[in-house]
Chains A and B, each alone.
Chain A
């Protein structure tokens, strides 16, 4: 069992792929974004596009989109 396991998140993204809302809460600003690529040599490579977001309710959250599944996840990081 791992700490910081990613959990599925309901993220609405804009046409450019940037998140507009997380769980129905609008995104105020994208504070930072980065790519993580690992195990590209393995059968199940890891490729994630992370976004650190400020929501309109004042919370900071980190989400990522998995390139493999196309799904969005929320993660404490």
Chain B
């Protein structure tokens, strides 16, 4: 059962369980990916001798984990498998940029959920309840675990074009949670990175002293609505 459960997870989740220095574990995961072994299921299907030949003892350790032969790991993954979910009711005729604002709000809420406990997301499912009572949803992989609102928005916004009709509710669910965000590698942009770090430190400090709900941002949702409370939402300020 454990192996079945694990099979669809990306090989990136192995990194922190291999007992290797981060760089070495990252290299192993990257090497697996280069060979087209993207999921634990693909890894588990390989023979131990082939894995040992190519990757040595760390590879065998990865294979055991992928096959669910490490009960502790399976248990930990089951805990991490818990799902986060957010939904938002849409005003009539929401489309275009307003729909993107709604999605942005959902992403911010999902990332701000206390149950996430700083863990990254492995995948997402975006869905909607349509005007005619039908439902629609689509699964979106992320390539690698991330907790970046910018990344999530970038991959999800194009999926809104697949919506088959007007929606009354939009929802977003996590599909698996990965390692903590602080353990993930980040792309750095000179200059911007240092500002983001400073801002991130300030955000964490304010949250630590004033509580998680102390920092919010105003998100325009439907600025032309005749119902004032629908024009803008207060949404959690994203982690930086």
Contacts and interface: CB of A to CB of B under 8 A. Distances in A.
Whether chains A and B associate is: yes
Contact of A3 (B91, B92, B226, B234): B234
Given A38-B92, A38-B227, A1 B232 contact: no
Nearest to B91: A38
A36 interface: yes
Would you call the interface of chain A mostly helix, strand, loop, or mixed? loop
Contacts of A38: 91-92, 226-227
Given A1-B216, A3-B218, A36 B226 contact: yes
Interface in B108-134: none
A43 to B, nearest CB: 12
Contacts of A75: 228-229
A77 B230 CA distance: 11
Contacts of A76: 228
B227 A46 contact: yes
Interface string B165-200: 000000000000000000000000000000000000
Nearest to A75: B228
A3 B229 contact: yes
Interface in A2-53: 2-6, 36, 38-39, 46, 48
B165 to A, nearest CB: 15
B231 A3 contact: yes
A56 B233 CA distance: 33
B113 to A, nearest CB: 15
- Chain A contact patch, size range: 10 to 19
A38 B235 CA distance: 24
A1 B233 contact: yes
B227 A3 contact: no
Contact of A5 (B218, B226, B229, B235): B229
Contacts of A2: 229-230, 232-234
Question: Which of B91, B226, B228, B232 counts the most A-chain CB atoms under 10 A from its CB?
Answer: B228
Nearest to A35: B226
A1 B234 contact: yes
Nearest to B131: A41
Contacts of B226: 36, 38
Given A1-B216, A1-B234, A6 B229 contact: yes
Given A38-B227, A39-B92, A4 B232 contact: yes
A13 B28 CA distance: 74
Given A1-B216, A1-B234, A3-B234, A36 B229 contact: no
B92 to A, nearest CB: 7
11 contacts: A1-B216, A1-B234, A2-B229, A2-B233, A3-B229, A3-B231, A3-B232, A38-B226, A46-B227, A48-B227, A77-B228
Interface of B: 91-92, 216, 218, 226-235
Interface of A: 1-6, 36, 38-39, 46, 48, 75-77
Given A1-B234, A3-B234, 20 more contacts: A1-B216, A1-B235, A2-B229, A2-B230, A2-B232, A3-B231, A3-B233, A4-B228, A4-B229, A4-B231, A4-B232, A6-B228, A6-B229, A38-B91, A38-B226, A38-B227, A39-B92, A75-B228, A75-B229, A77-B228
